[in-house]
Amino acid sequence: MRFISEFRDPDRTRVLAEEIKRLLSGRKISLMEVCGTHTVSIFRSGLKSLLPSSLRLISGPGCPVCVTPQKKIDTIIAYARQPDTIITTFGDMLNVPGTESSLREEKSRGADIRMVYSPLESLALARDNPEKKVIFLAIGFETTIPTAAATIIEAEKSGLDNLFLIPAGKLIPPAMEFLLSQGDAGINGFLCPGHVSAIIGTAPYRKIAEKFGVPCVVAGFEPIDILAAIGELLLLIKEGRPEVRNLYPRVVREGGNSLAQKLVDEVFQIADTEWRGLGVIPGSGLQLSPKFEKYDISLIEPVEITPSRENPACICGDILRGVSEPPDCPAFKNSCSPDHPLGPCMVSSEGTCAAWYRYGRS
C-alpha cells in the first residue's frame, strides 16, 4: 500500500541507520520517545539493534494505561462491583492489577465488564439496558479524548440518563514539560507522538523547545519515519537548534485537527491530574466541563475505596520517568511477566516492560 511500504524500505532504513551511527561516532545522546507506540515500533522493527548503544532511547510516559494511578484503578473496580452496572473499557485495562483485584478478576466473579473498540459502543449498551448504569472508562491521551467527547455529545443528543464517564484523559505536553523540569532523565531531544500531534498540532511543542532548549520532532510510526526523526533530532542537537519539526506532514497539520479540538474544548476542561510514577502534574488532565458534569459518575455517585497500594516490587514509576529500564527491575521476567504482571507497564500493549519482554534481546 502506497502509504506504508515506502516507509518500511529496508535499503533506506539501513542507510539512515548507518548515517546516524556515523554522525554520533560514539557520542552519548539521550532521546525520549514520548509515545508507547513509538517504543513498540522501535523494538518490533528491529531498530533497537540497528542503532548504536551510545544513543539512549528513553521510553516516556506515553502509555495511558501505564500512567493511570492505582487509586483510579481501584475506583473503577469498586464501580464494577456495584449491581446493575456495566463497565465499558478499552481492552488493555482489563488485566491491570489494582490493590486487591483487577477488572478481569471482577469479570470472572460476575461483574459486567465489556471491552469496546470505540467508546460509542457504550451508547447502544445504555439504550439497550435502561435499568442499568453504563460507565465508560475514558482513558487516553489527546488522540483518544475526542472520541470520548463525541460519545458525551451523542449521549446528550439522545437524552440518555444512564450513560456515565470516568474521566481519565491526560495531556502529553504538560508531562513533557514536567520531565524536563525534573531533569533527572537527561533528555537531549523528543520524538513527539504522531497521532497525538494530529489532534493538537505542533504549536504546543514550540513552547517546550524554547523554554528548555530541547528540539522536538513529530514522527510517524514506520521504521523510516522514526529513523529520519532521530536523524533530524541529532542534526538539530549538533547545531544547537532547539526547534520543532513536523516529519509526519502526511497526517499532522501544523494547526492540528480543529474540529476535534473544538469538541474537546466544549466537553472537557483542563485539570490537575495524578500520573502514576510522576505525581500530580498541573494542567495535565481533563474533567468534564460544567454543562456535562452530570456524566461524571465519580461526582454523581462517589464510591469509597480502601487505601490504594502499588506492588512494592514494581518500579513502573521510575520507568515512566525515564530513569530506569525494565532490565533494572529485579522482578522483570521473574515474578513479573505479561501472564502475571505486577504493574501496568507489563500489561499494556504500549507498556515499556511489555515491549522489552516481547521484543528485547535476553
Residue with cell 502526511: 250
CB 260 within 8 A of CB 199: yes
CB 197 within 8 A of CB 232: no
CB of 308: closest distance to another protein in angstroms? 23
CB of 90: closest distance to another protein in angstroms? 7
CB of 277: closest distance to another protein in angstroms? 17
CB 38 within 8 A of CB 191: yes
At 44 the three-state DSSP class reads: helix
The one-letter code for the residue type at 33 is: E
- Position 344 contacts another protein (CB under 8 A): no
Binding mask 147-166 for another protein (x = CB under 8 A): x--x----------------
Helices (H), ranges, 25-86: 36-44, 47-50, 70-80
C-alpha 172/C-alpha 33 separation (Å) is 12
**Using CB under 8 A, which of 78, 180, 251, 313 touches another protein?**
251
Residue 251's DSSP bridge partners are: none
| Binding residues with another protein: total (CB under 8 A) | 62
Considering only 47-55, 188-196, 320-328, 335-343, which stretch makes contact with another protein by CB under 8 A? 188-196
C-alpha 91/C-alpha 280 separation (Å) is 26
Question: H-helix or E-strand containing 55?
Answer: strand 55-62
**Using CB under 8 A, which of 186, 249, 255, 330 touches another protein?**
249
Binding mask 208-247 for another protein (x = CB under 8 A): -------------x--x---x--xx-xx--x--------x
Q: Which of 212, 207, 173, 167 is nearest to 193 (CA)?
A: 173
Nearer to another protein, 238 or 291 (CB): 238
Q: Residues 44 to 83: which contact another protein by CB under 8 A?
A: 62-64
- Position 27 contacts another protein (CB under 8 A): no
CB of 97: closest distance to another protein in angstroms? 20
CB 203 within 8 A of CB 100: no
Binding site for another protein (CB under 8 A): 1-4, 6-7, 12, 15-16, 19-20, 22-23, 25, 35-38, 62-64, 90, 117-121, 139-141, 143-144, 146-147, 150, 193-196, 198-199, 221, 224, 228, 231-232, 234-235, 238, 247-253, 257, 259-260, 263, 349-350
